[in-house]
Structure 1
Amino acid sequence: MTQRKRLSNSQTPSQSKRRSDSLEEDDGDMPFTQPSSSQVQRGMEKFTNSQVDQKVAEVLQYILVKDQKKIPVRRADLVRNILKDYRNVYPEIIRRVVQTLDQVFGFKLVEIDTKNHLYILINKLELSEATAPLNAPSNPKMGLLFVILSVIFMKRGVVKESLIWNTLKKLRVDPGEKHALFGDVKKLVTDEFVRQRYLEFVRVPHTEPIEYEFRWGQRAEVEVSKAKILEFMGQLHEQEPQTWSQQYKEAHAPPGASQPSTSQQR
């Protein structure tokens, strides 16, 4: 016992935090199982309509606040932090939340990770017009992200970290210097964009010194139009999008087609 205690106390704060984060992830969905229709029916009998409506409003607020920060909603966190005693009526509350998001806000709740049950909001109008929020970036950060995603897509889905930094340097955005608009560029790209699931930043196995590579994240796969990226590249290079035949084929493949997309090269 004494030895175990010494080992525990020897951990650095960062190690303890990583362990805590890991345990929180592991604990996440384990206690929660989707209730059956009969369980939902019995659960609804315990609450008044006003109580359920209040809980629906709390879930809506939670999802909308997360969306403002572009952070995916994790089902386990939603159940643990917001639903709590209402977990047995989860399907009914989510049904009402989805309906309100659709009819009032024009959003669609999309699951981008079926293993960890992560959800994001998509603008239904933009989906119906076959466009995406990043097609015409309205702020500098999204413009920077669009450039990075374009490089990754044109390189067939995976690029070394060094290529991204060299590309940004050509645009006078040096990851080693603080930028007037973006602040800490490296932190923005490798932390914020990754946390928002626009990018994946993974270590390349068996490399010495250690190397990393970038790929499209789950949110980008849902939100960003590859066809628009090709149009952008065509305008930039004064060429037709069809010039890049493989990328053009992938960008215009029907939904669900087995293309070697950015998400499949993993």
Structure 2
Amino acid sequence: MSQKRRLAGTQSSQSRVFMPNEVVMEEDEDVSFTQPSSSQLQRGLDRLTPAQVDRKVAEVVQFILIKDQKKVPIKRADIVKNVIKEYKNIYPEIIKRANMKFEKVFGFQLVEVDPKNHAYILVNKLEQNPRQPAVMSPGHPKTGLLFVILSVIFMKGGVVKEPVVWNTLKKLRVDQGEKHEEFGDVKKLVTEEFVRQRYLEYTRIPHTEPLEHEFRWGVRAEKEVDKMKMLEFVSQVHDQEPQTWTKQYKEAMAAKGGSSRS
């Protein structure tokens, strides 16, 4: 009987080995979290002093700023486990105040990009903060490479097959098959790091043999990148007016109008 138990325990632990860490964390840490009701939230606030709430808000802001350095979505489970802890019943209020602090002090906005798994990213609010995010400046090596890829996708109508990206980069002497002195493993950078950071989406094209993939803008790019500025950059490269590309110009103008209303 004890042997059966040990065998069952071994099988259970082996099955967990093949489960991604994020999935394990999601099940173990976030499944028990329930959004507090308004009455629960108010009772929680009544039990705390303003100084206690402010201190917890400051801790959350610091935690998110540090986690954001990797440019990957920040899970609610991580925030609750590492910072919120026993303050779970006032979680919505803490996040609300943290977001206000991000906007007023840093010019950022905390955006939930994955409502199902409750993951956030920090977005640079360009209208409030004149310092543009790195992705808007082709001067930095990695962000310059990303900028090129995003511009290709934008100018090609929002989606491109994978070979289009590699052929474009090859013209810039960046080859996916060679280790680059600045970027290292280029394919890993583009298809894993930029995707993990939500700047790019890299998806399989159904019913293709051999297997093909395509690229789109990721949610972070949609939130951070000013399409009109990108079109102006492309126009300068080609010595043309932005209006030359009618479809892209209309899209950039529509995006600008939407951001000005938000």
Identify the TM-score tier after normalising by the shorter chain: 0.7 to 0.9
TM-score under structure 2 length normalisation: 0.84
Q: Which residue in 2 is equivalent to 1:140?
A: 141
Q: Which residue in 2 is equivalent to 1:156?
A: 157
Gaps of 5+ in 2: none
Work out whether residues 190 and 201 of structure 1, in 8 Å CA contact, stay in contact via their aligned partners in 2.
yes
Q: Distance in 2 between matches of 1:161 and 1:250?
A: 23
- Relative to its length, the structure with more helix (as a share) is 2
SS in structure 2 at match of 1:127: coil
Over aligned residue pairs, what C-alpha RMSD do you find? 2.8
SS in structure 2 at match of 1:59: helix
Q: Distance in 2 between matches of 1:79 and 1:6?
A: 31
Q: Which residue in 2 is equivalent to 1:204?
A: 205
Q: Which residue in 2 is equivalent to 1:184?
A: 185
Work out whether residues 107 and 129 of structure 2, in 8 Å CA contact, stay in contact via their aligned partners in 1.
no
Confirm whether residue 127 of structure 1 aligns to residue 127 of structure 2.
yes
Q: Which residue in 2 is equivalent to 1:168?
A: 169
Deviations 1:173-208 (A, max 9, x none): 111111111111111111111111000111111122
Q: Distance in 2 between matches of 1:123 and 1:161?
A: 28
Q: Which residue in 1 is equivalent to 2:258?
A: 255
1:6–1:112 distance in 2 versus 1, CA, 3 Å: closer
Q: CA deviation at 1:29?
A: 4.8
SS in structure 1 at match of 2:82: helix
SS in structure 1 at match of 2:175: coil
Structure 1 residue identity aligned to 2:138: P
Q: Distance in 2 between matches of 1:34 and 1:101?
A: 22
Structure 2 residue identity aligned to 1:54: R
Structure 2 residue identity aligned to 1:222: K
Q: CA deviation at 1:9?
A: 7.6
Work out whether residues 235 and 241 of structure 2, in 8 Å CA contact, stay in contact via their aligned partners in 1.
yes
| % same residue | 61
Structure 1 residue identity aligned to 2:258: P
Q: Distance in 2 between matches of 1:9 and 1:91?
A: 35
Work out whether residues 131 and 225 of structure 1, in 8 Å CA contact, stay in contact via their aligned partners in 2.
no
Q: Which residue in 2 is equivalent to 1:79?
A: 80
SS in structure 2 at match of 1:208: coil
1:203–1:232 distance in 2 versus 1, CA, 3 Å: same
Q: Which residue in 1 is equivalent to 2:220?
A: 219
Work out whether residues 142 and 183 of structure 2, in 8 Å CA contact, stay in contact via their aligned partners in 1.
yes
Paired positions, count: 252
Q: Which residue in 2 is equivalent to 1:245?
A: 246
Confirm whether residue 70 of structure 1 aligns to residue 71 of structure 2.
yes
1:212–1:8 distance in 2 versus 1, CA, 3 Å: farther
Q: CA deviation at 1:71?
A: 1.8
Gaps of 5+ in 1: 257-266
SS in structure 1 at match of 2:150: helix
Deviations 1:125-146 (A, max 9, x none): x234799523323421111000
Q: Which residue in 2 is equivalent to 1:259?
A: none
